[in-house]
Amino acid sequence: MLTINDLARPGLEPVNLEISAGEIVAIMGPSGAGKSLLLRAISDLDPNTGMVMLGGRAREAMPAPTWRKEVGYLPAEPGWWAETVGEHFQNWPSQQDSLATLGMPGDCGDWPISRLSTGERQRLGLVRLLEGVPQVLLLDEPTSGLDADTVESTERLIRDYIGTQRCCLWVTHDDAQAGRMATRCLRIEAGRLAEPTS
Amino acid sequence: MSYITLDYADLAIAASLVLISGGASLVLRLDIERRLLIATLRMVVQLVLVGLVLKALFANVSPLWTGLAVVVMLAVAGREILARQSRPLAGFWAYGLGVSTMAVASTLVTVFALTTQVAPDPWYHPQYALPLFGMVLGNTMTGISLGLDTLVTSLTRERAAVEAKLTLGATIHEAMRPNARQALRTGLMPTVNAMAATGVVALPGMMTGQILSGVEPVEAVKYQILVMFLIAGGTGLGAILAVLAATWRLSDPRHRLRLDRLAASRD
């Protein structure tokens, strides 16, 4: 479904990767190894070389905004541009189900962004990303700020969303989470992506 | 109406006022007498030199010499724009973007005024061209440097917000729009404030000068209004050109935010 050929940028050696529909691929590795650089390069947020295709269509064949809508990237610390939570969504009322699943109160639309905790920002950033219905998810430690219960419901929400038609690249530090979620596990060390030896 | 000529003795008497300030600094240990002395000397030397240069330019009205003076003024103002950026663009653009947009805006506006409203003969007569150009240039320079600095500062600070919009499928223009708007507002603010306060809080220097040299107040006011329009036009055009050019330089056709095209941070 997502095909990556010789994708490279400063700090990242050429990456070749094929992800099928229904797959969740975990990316692990020490801090600074290039995990976030890889996700940013796939999302085309930084200059990079190589080829990335979604369902046989090359990234360069479509406008960058269209590509990023299809290949949704969630940074470890999602950004916010307006005062309150609700302003960041196309259609805030229709988010109630996802919010309830993730343990966010339904009236948090009026909350100021400055009041949110790290974990709340991560969950709201995820809901905001899913609103655009991307076919591929690029998630950068989406549950690092969450307690155990919320981690579980977040994992369930993402697994249900991926289903059999979509796919996901999931950066995580947590071996147990990779074991629960991933159909495949890859490691990045010093900018080089490889299958783990162990 | 009459014009009162000053002789050098008059200036010497007035200079005693600076000596009083310097004396106060010594007595009260304000430690500012040295800087006051240097600033006073610079002011006198610079103004005398400008007077001599203008005198020479007026004595032989030439498009070449007037043009050369314009180029020198632009070059100095361009350096000033660069000095006022907390984080300029990398390479040639640091100087080139500010000075080229400033040159286009202030030259267009001044030539427009010289060929249609003021219309001296010849239109490039330095007695009219250089004072008008100087006033438009000074304000355009402020507008551009404020606009560019605000744009870069806000894009750097709000990078995560801009990129959040990009990841949700916004175009780079949509994503940068609030920053560009803020930069233009800041760049135009001094001009808007000056127009709103002028005549009430302070009498503009150019108008005051014309009144002192014997021009009818209403005629001086007409000139001041013209100059305010020129300044508003030059600042608006310059700030818009510079901010648009900078947003173009800080993005690319793949709708990325290219902060890597800024010079390395100074702090």
| pLDDT tens-place string over residues B57-68 | 999 899 999 999
For residue B130, give the H/E element and its range: helix B126-157
The tokens for A41 are 């390069």
A198 lies in some domain: no
Our count of domains for chain B comes to: 2
Our count of domains for chain A comes to: 1
A53 lies in some domain: yes
- E strand intervals along chain B: none
Q: Which domain holds residue B72?
A: 61-261
Q: CB distance from A73 to chain B under 8 Å? A: yes
pLDDT of residue A139: 95
Domain co-membership, B27 together with B134? no
Sheet holding A167-171, edge to edge: A71-74, A136-140, A167-171, A24-28, A184-189, A192-194
Name which of B158, B166, B253 is nearest A68 (Cβ-Cβ).
B166
B267 lies in some domain: no
Name which of B164, B178, B258 is nearest A80 (Cβ-Cβ).
B164
* Amino acid, res. A164: T
On the 0-12 / 13-18 / 19+ scale of CB atoms within 10 A, B56 is: exposed
A59 lies in some domain: yes
Round to whole Å and give the CA distance between A86 and A107.
Answer: 9
The least confident of A190-194, B179-183, B210-214 is: A190-194
Question: What CATH number does residue A23 fall under?
Answer: 3.40.50.300
Domain co-membership, B92 together with B20? no
Q: How confident is the model at residue A198 (pLDDT cuts 50, 70, 90)?
A: very low
Domain co-membership, B125 together with B219? yes
Average pLDDT over residues A123-133: 95
Domain co-membership, B95 together with B140? yes
User: Cβ separation of A79 and B170 shorter than 8 Å?
Assistant: no
Q: CB distance from A92 to chain B under 8 Å? A: no
Round to whole Å and give the CA distance between A35 and A44.
Answer: 14
| Boundary residue ending a domain (B9, B44, B59) | B59
Q: How far is A8 from chain B (nearest CA, A)?
A: 16
A109 lies in some domain: yes
| Boundary residue ending a domain (B41, B59, B77) | B59
Average pLDDT over residues B144-151: 96
| Boundary residue ending a domain (B43, B59, B75) | B59
What would the pLDDT profile of B57-116 be if each residue is shown by its tens digit?
Answer: 999 899 999 999 999 999 999 999 999 999 999 999 999 999 999 999 999 999 999 999
A195 lies in some domain: no
pLDDT of residue A196: 60
B266 lies in some domain: no
Q: Which domain holds residue A103?
A: 2-190
Chain B hits for A46, Cβ within 8 Å: 256, 260
